[in-house]
Amino acid sequence: MHMKLPNHIGIIPDGNRRWAVKNKLSKEKGYVFGLTPGMKLFKLCERLGIKELTYYGFTTDNTKRPLIQRKAFTEACVEAVKMLSKEDVSLLVVGNTDSNMFPKALLPYTIRKNLGSGGMKLNFLVNYGWEWDLGKTQHSRTTNRHSIISSLNSHDISRVDLIIRWGGRRRLSGFLPVQSVYSDFYIIDDYWPDFKAEHLIKALKWYNNQDITLGG
């Protein structure tokens, strides 16, 4: 059976802290257990021929969390990008680099880089805030869709077809508000560190049955 696959999948890898508590660890210990799932998911998407993948690393709002947690999720994001940079990808990190919360180790990736033999467009949102993303649009004074998109800080990230969120929460948490206007949204109740391949397969089977109209 031929399945209709999304071109671009957005990943909200939530539930790391709740997973840690469930496993009798302190909250900040959960983030490092999200690294292997991130790689497994990437490899699966690569095999399936998914053209673009965006991971929600951390937001400007997340930086209000206790220092020990902030340090842990920042280190996990840096490590995740380093791991993925060893693959054949077109890698981009998007986030507010003017803030000292943005990890300096990731600055080289804030311009899209073709790594290895290139391949899937892989985006990582780090110290990302929707207000920051939309910041330049106020100067464009236009309702023209293309003009608005080109003035986004995330203009090099395309429209998201499917968003998958782990951890059971039914909210977008500021994820790419412009690119996600017509995204289909699939929730997995399991926490992100408990990622299984079947989570992705179920989400794709569900997506295959959606009527994609883009409002038309």
* Candidates 14, 96, 127, 153; catalytic one: 14
Top-confidence residue, 103 or 147: 103
pLDDT of res. 215: 78
CA 215, distance to chain mean position in Å, is 24
Q: Where are the beta strands (DSSP E) in the chain?
A: 8-12, 52-59, 89-94, 113-115, 120-128, 162-166, 184-188
Share of the chain above pLDDT 90, in %: 88
Active site residue 62: yes
pLDDT of res. 143: 77
Query: In angstroms, rounded to a whole number, what is the distance separating the alpha carbons of residues 192 and 38?
Result: 9
Residue with tokens 């998007």: 94
pLDDT of res. 41: 98
Query: In angstroms, rounded to a whole number, what is the distance separating the alpha carbons of residues 125 and 177?
Result: 13
* Candidates 23, 61, 62, 211; catalytic one: 62
Write the pLDDT tens digit of every residue in 28-62. 999 999 999 999 999 999 999 999 999 999 999 99
| C-beta separation of 164 from 9 below 8 A | yes
Domains of the chain: 8-208 (3.40.1180.10)
| C-beta separation of 171 from 150 below 8 A | no
pLDDT of res. 140: 65
Residue with tokens 């293309």: 146
Query: In angstroms, rounded to a whole number, what is the distance separating the alpha carbons of residues 27 and 16?
Result: 8
Mean pLDDT (whole number) for 179-200: 98
Q: Tell me how far apart the terminal alpha carbons of the chain are, to the nearest angstrom.
A: 27
Q: Are strands 89-94 and 113-115 parallel, antiparallel or unpaired?
A: antiparallel
How many other CB atoms are found less than 10 A from the CB of residue 11? Answer: 28
Q: Which pair of structure tokens corresponds to residue 94?
A: 């998007």
Write the pLDDT tens digit of every residue in 174-187. 999 999 999 999 99
Confidence tier at 1 by pLDDT (50, 70, 90): low
Q: Which of 144-148, 163-167, 190-194 has the lowest mean pLDDT?
A: 144-148
CA angle 81, 108, 43 (to 5 degrees): 25
Mean pLDDT (whole number) for 73-77: 98
* Cα–Cα distances in angstroms (integers) from residue 59 to residues 48, 63, 211, in the given order: 29, 7, 31
